[in-house]
Amino acid sequence: MMTTTSQPQQEQQHQQPRQRLLAGALRWSVAAAIASLAGCAAPPPAATDTTTATTDTSSTASRPPPTGASVAGQARTFSTQLATYTSVSFDAVPGWSRDDFSESWPAFLGSCKVLNGRGAEWKEVCDRAQKVDGKSNNAIRGFFEGEFSAYQIRDDDRRPDGVVTGYFEPEIAGARQYGAPFIYPVYGQPEDMLFADARKLPPGNGTVAARVDGRNVVVQTGLSTRDMGAPGLYALDLSGISRDTLDRKVRLRVEGKQLLPYYTREEIETKGAPNAKVLAFVSSATALYEMQIQGSGRIKMANGDIVRVAYAEQNGQPFRPTLAQAANGKPRSPVKVRGSSIELQLDDGDDDDSDVGAVASGTIRTRGFTLVRPVASGPVVVPGRRPTAGGAVTGSGIKDPSYVFFKESPSPVGGPVGAFGVPLSAGRSIAVDPRSTPLGYPVFVSTRTPGSGAPMQRLTIAQDTGGAIRGAVRADYFFGNGQQAATNARRMKERGQLWILLPRGLAVAQAAVSSGIRTRGGPVGANLPQCLVPSEGSCVDD
């Protein structure tokens, strides 16, 4: 957000769109370098199988649906490439009647500040929300039941269970000036970073001619490699870039007459980032890495001042953390490979949860992954600065090539700003995959409390993203800041189920039918949309 967020997803709603979709921790595209492994967690509280549930019909009037579209409140079920959505009554949502909706209300009103501009349906819903008694649990519950229809989210295999992890806003010690022990720079977004739209790049791994228009790279069609020496033209080698980013943006830099992928972590740490402003310096490379994974954080100065930083950008390199090994030699955080990304999975037989509440010696537990704790081998390069006496400039010891850049947050109060552009609410904001769960929407989550295993069933608001938050039934729960939040977030890795609330009358995924492939009865195929609700800044549909 990873979110957020918020290391990663990648494009915001109404400001700097290409920088916010990755927000929250782990905001990076993930390489397919890890094999599927087994894992486990206690199952979530029992939920009614809603496959055959019927649509709740107590709705406000809705305008005629667009031809060929599925409409919330009218369609019983619809599908995208990633998920199937099945209508249920609110009584069928486990824990719905017991939740304290007043805790979610401020987060929902925060989302309305953005959703108001998303069309007539949302404007009408948010206008009516202003008239609801925000202190009355019954009034808020009645509002959601009257304005929305609930749909259970299942993945493309029609499975209702997914993974719920957690993240938090870390606080680390730092300084504005370079000097031992504060030798690790917290970089802002580099001024020399360029962007190309991955959807507009030609297929294949050849070399094409391109121009630079401001911060954007535009491929020049109809030109041969002989033309690349002309003024203003650069050679872009397509074989070296990664197209699998949530916002479909490729991060590049100019070197001579070539356009190359932006610098890796190792290059940034050993050569410096002269085109990036240094926001602060911290004393721990490990703490900085975790803050990059979380996607935001607080830097506490010696005089007590707090500098709050939020996700700004990422270098476009794949997220390749060094996973800690279990006794059997396999990674302790089970994952599965889908395309060129990895997702956490939970299966029977995983004994990795015995110490997930602690950051054990040699490991870091963060956002569902158990990572090897890096051992810094020396200070990193800071342009214009000299390393501390006797310190060899060899880097932080972190092998992950991805790198997150920050910006100072304008708001010193409230939660960090997530990918949706609004402050996150501890206990009620989640990071999601925006392809299947659009940002700003209410999502009811049924899972278990980390540690105790007690049911945790509550209405949340999808307000953040993360490059490793991939999959239909996938949520990353924001716990807030402080030690307890950190402990809970590090322990959180549970099975969970999700129900999205859609405004009645809202046109969503097209009611397409697959022309061939079917997976456990669920239609899949290129003729189905990728996004549930395509909208700039929340999902980029091909």
DSSP letters spanning 239-260: GG-----TT-EEEEEEETTEEE
Q: Identify whether 283 is part of a domain.
A: yes
Q: How far is CA 283 from CA 67, 287, 306, 397, 411, in A?
A: 59, 8, 16, 14, 24
Three-state secondary structure call for residue 178: coil
CB atoms within 10 A of CB 485: 19
| Mean pLDDT taken over the chain | 77
Distance CA 316, CA 29 (A): 7
Q: Bigger pLDDT: 176 or 363?
A: 176
- Mean pLDDT of all residues in 447-474: 89
Q: Identify whether 360 is part of a domain.
A: no
Q: Bigger pLDDT: 46 or 383?
A: 383
Q: What pLDDT is attached to residue 364? A: 58
Name residues whose C-beta falls within 8 Å of residue 10's C-beta, 6 or more positions apart in sequence: 18, 19, 20, 21, 22, 23, 27, 245, 246, 247, 249, 314, 419, 465, 467
Examine the domain organization and report whether 307 and 429 are in the same domain: no
pLDDT category at 375 given cuts 50, 70, 90 is: low
pLDDT at 351 over 50: no
Examine the domain organization and report whether 237 and 270 are in the same domain: yes
Query: 438-465 burial by CB neighbour count: b if 16+ within 10 A, else e?
Result: bbbbbbbbbbbebeeeebbbbbbbbbbb
Q: Which domain holds residue 218?
A: 169-314
Give me the torsion for CA of 99, 101, 104, 108, rounded to 10°. 130
Name residues whose C-beta falls within 8 Å of residue 328's C-beta, 6 or more positions apart in sequence: none
Closest CA to 372 of 359, 385, 389: 359
Closest CA to 17 of 463, 534, 536: 536
Examine the domain organization and report whether 137 and 253 are in the same domain: no
Domain boundary among 314, 348, 370: 314
How many residues appear in the chain? Answer: 542
Examine the domain organization and report whether 127 and 185 are in the same domain: no
Q: Identify whether 377 is part of a domain.
A: no
Whether 405 and 280 have beta carbons less than 8 Å apart is answered as no
Examine the domain organization and report whether 291 and 173 are in the same domain: yes
Q: Identify whether 118 is part of a domain.
A: yes
Domain boundary among 283, 314, 345: 314
Examine the domain organization and report whether 202 and 303 are in the same domain: yes
Examine the domain organization and report whether 131 and 177 are in the same domain: no
Examine the domain organization and report whether 173 and 307 are in the same domain: yes
Which residue(s) pair with 148 in the sheet? 503
The predicted model scores a pTM of: 0.74
Examine the domain organization and report whether 103 and 78 are in the same domain: yes
Radius of gyration (C-alpha) of the chain in whole angstroms: 23
Whether 349 and 40 have beta carbons less than 8 Å apart is answered as yes
Q: How far is CA 248 from CA 143, 191, 230, 438, 486, in A?
A: 36, 20, 28, 16, 31
Strands (E), 102-256: 148-155, 162-169, 171-175, 184-187, 194-197, 207-213, 216-219, 234-237, 249-255
Q: Identify whether 511 is part of a domain.
A: yes
Distance CA 370, CA 325 (A): 8
Q: What is the CATH number of the domain that holds 182?
A: 2.40.240.50
Domain boundary among 269, 293, 314: 314
Whether 129 and 112 have beta carbons less than 8 Å apart is answered as yes
Q: Identify whether 117 is part of a domain.
A: yes
Q: What is the CATH number of the domain that holds 467?
A: 2.40.40.10
Domains of the chain: total:
2
The rounded percent of the chain whose pLDDT value lies above 70 is: 68
Examine the domain organization and report whether 111 and 221 are in the same domain: no
Examine the domain organization and report whether 305 and 178 are in the same domain: yes
- State the chain's maximal CA–CA distance in angstroms: 73
Q: Bigger pLDDT: 414 or 390?
A: 414
Q: Which amino acid belongs to residue 304?
A: G
Strands (E), 67-126: 69-71, 77-79, 83-88
Q: Identify whether 407 is part of a domain.
A: no
CB atoms within 10 A of CB 536: 12
Examine the domain organization and report whether 78 and 207 are in the same domain: no
pLDDT at 183 over 80: yes
Q: Bigger pLDDT: 512 or 382?
A: 382
Distance CA 170, CA 6 (A): 11
Q: Identify whether 293 is part of a domain.
A: yes
The rounded percent of the chain whose pLDDT value lies above 90 is: 42
pLDDT category at 320 given cuts 50, 70, 90 is: confident
Give me the torsion for CA of 220, 224, 225, 231, rounded to 10°. -50
Distance CA 288, CA 105 (A): 33
pLDDT category at 526 given cuts 50, 70, 90 is: low
Percent of residues in the chain assigned helix, strand, coil, to nearest 5: 15, 30, 55
Query: 258-267 burial by CB neighbour count: b if 16+ within 10 A, else e?
Result: ebbbbbbbbb
For the stretch 81-127, pLDDT in tens is 889 999 999 999 999 999 999 999 999 999 999 999 888 889 999 99
